[in-house]
Amino acid sequence: PFPAPWVFIRGVPSLKFLPPEGPPEVAFAGRSNVGKSSLINALVKTKGLARTSNTPGRTQELNYFVPDGHAGTRDDLPPLALVDMPGYGYAKAPKEKVDEWTRLVFDYLRGRSTLKRVYLLIDSRHGLKANDEEVMQLLDKAAVSYQVVLTKTDKIKEAGVPRLIEATLAGIRRHPAAFPEVIATSSERGLGIEELRAAIMKAISV
Ligand code: GDP
């Protein structure tokens, strides 16, 4: 079963602040405003865990969450950790912020042997954008397994969801590290959340 409740353990502004490699971890990435905080909060059944604020240019940190009640010592490692990656794609972000983001994220992706999968969140209303494509290339280059998760499906017509899934699958086909299945979710309606939990438990078990 998926653990709950969860706690925030640390914000990581640069790699030297990463916790030592321990439990398997999965990370969440997506454009600013994609609904990442809402999805994480729905997933962990812990209100307000991930901050749903979106101040552009706020500190770029990898935020670590673990199930509550684990000391994190060698004898009491949590079963998994969730990593909330800083959002990308904010139109007015200065180039050095973007470069900073890319460096932090790429170094993390490439070096983290306990990272089992990245969930790449895509807003159902927008589909895959150019900067999502760039991030997919980064993930391919780092050889990190990733899976696309559609967010806010309640914002589009129900009949459009299967079509969007097909279009998204077509968009990831040529990406070697992309998992060839897409999960459709709505944090607002609680759709696809249990499916995502099951996918995470499966991803960390391999
Ligand atoms: P983040 O910047 O990726 O962390 O995005 P947030 O979780 O803060 O969400 C951005 C905006 O989208 C907020 O106004 C949320 O209320 C809204 N939102 C998030 N998830 C959903 C959803 O599943 N359905 C709808 N309709 N709105 C959502």
How far does residue 75's CA lie from ligand 1's centre (Å)? 37
The strand pairing partners of 178, in sequence order, are 146
- Tell which atom from ligand 1 comes closest to the C-alpha of 40: 7
pLDDT tens series, the chain, 206 aa: 899 999 999 999 999 999 999 999 999 999 999 999 999 999 999 888 987 544 555 568 999 999 998 866 667 788 999 999 999 998 888 999 999 999 999 999 999 999 999 999 999 999 999 999 999 999 999 999 999 999 999 999 999 999 999 999 999 999 999 999 999 999 999 999 999 999 999 999 98
Q: How far, in Å, CA of 2 to CA of 107, rounded?
A: 29
The best mutation among 52, 149, 196 to test binding of ligand 1, ranked by most ligand atoms within 8 Å of the C-beta, falls on 52
| Among the four given CATH numbers 3.30.1300.10, 1.10.10.10, 3.40.710.10, 3.40.50.300, the one describing domain 6-204 | 3.40.50.300
**Measuring from atom 6 of ligand 1, which residue has the nearest CA?**
35
163 to each of 31, 89, 157, 167, 168, how far by Cα in Å? 22, 25, 11, 6, 9
Tens-digit pLDDT profile for residues 62-99: 999 999 988 666 677 889 999 999 999 988 889 999 99
What does the block give as tokens for 93?
A: 């972000």
Q: Whose CA is nearest to atom 8 of ligand 1?
A: 52
Provide the whole-model pTM. Answer: 0.95
8 Å CB contact between 203 and 117: yes
The sheet with strand 25-30 has its strands ordered as: 6-12, 62-67, 81-84, 25-30, 115-123, 146-151, 183-184
Which residues, other chains included, contact 134 with Cβ-Cβ below 8 Å and sequence gap of 6+? none
Q: Where are the beta strands (DSSP E) in 13-109?
A: 25-30, 62-67, 81-84
User: Atom 9 (ligand 1): residue with closest C-alpha?
Assistant: 35
List pocket residues of ligand 1, CB cut-off 6 Å: 30, 32-38, 52, 54, 87, 151-152, 154-155, 186-188
List the domain boundaries for the chain: 6-204
CB atoms within 10 A of CB 74: 8
Does the interface predicted TM-score (ipTM) exceed 0.85? yes
User: Which two structure tokens, joined as six digits, stand for 61?
Assistant: 């940190």
Nearest CA to ligand 1 atom 19: 35
What is the maximum span of the chain, computed from C-alpha positions, in angstroms?
Answer: 49
